[in-house]
């Protein structure tokens, strides 16, 4: 196991617009996804777009290496080094 690795995070929609970036790399040590999301939200100032009432928003598609970890209930699962996390908001206005 690599003692310190990186993951690539790709942001879409409102997340990209509000944070001012579409991609970042963050250092992890195979942290659980929820911890990575907290780190990203604090670093970019987008907590309200990722969390609602202390929980990850259900209308946020979170793909880790292509699998939707949010709907699969894998928020507490450690993310492997060199993974790609895509955060895709699926909400829309009327």
Closest CA to 12 of 91, 90, 92, 88: 88
> What pLDDT is stored for residue 93 in this prediction?
54
> What pLDDT is stored for residue 77 in this prediction?
97
- CATH topology for the 5-89 domain: Ubiquitin-like (UB roll) (3.10.20)
> What pLDDT is stored for residue 29 in this prediction?
81
> What pLDDT is stored for residue 24 in this prediction?
94
Domain ranges of the chain: 5-89
Question: Which residues, given as ranges, of the chain have pLDDT below 70?
Answer: 1-3, 92-94
> What pLDDT is stored for residue 91 in this prediction?
75
> What pLDDT is stored for residue 30 in this prediction?
84
């Amino acid at each position: 196991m690599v003692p310190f690795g990186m993951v690539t995070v790709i942001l879409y929609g409102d997340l990209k617009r509000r944070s001012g970036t579409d991609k970042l790399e963050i250092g992890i040590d195979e942290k659980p996804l929820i911890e990575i999301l907290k780190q990203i939200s604090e670093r970019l100032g987008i907590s309200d777009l990722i969390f609602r009432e202390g929980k990850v928003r259900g209308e946020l598609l979170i793909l880790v290496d292509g699998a939707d970890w949010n709907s699969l209930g894998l928020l507490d699962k450690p993310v492997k080094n060199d993974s790609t996390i895509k955060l895709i908001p699926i909400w829309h206005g009327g």
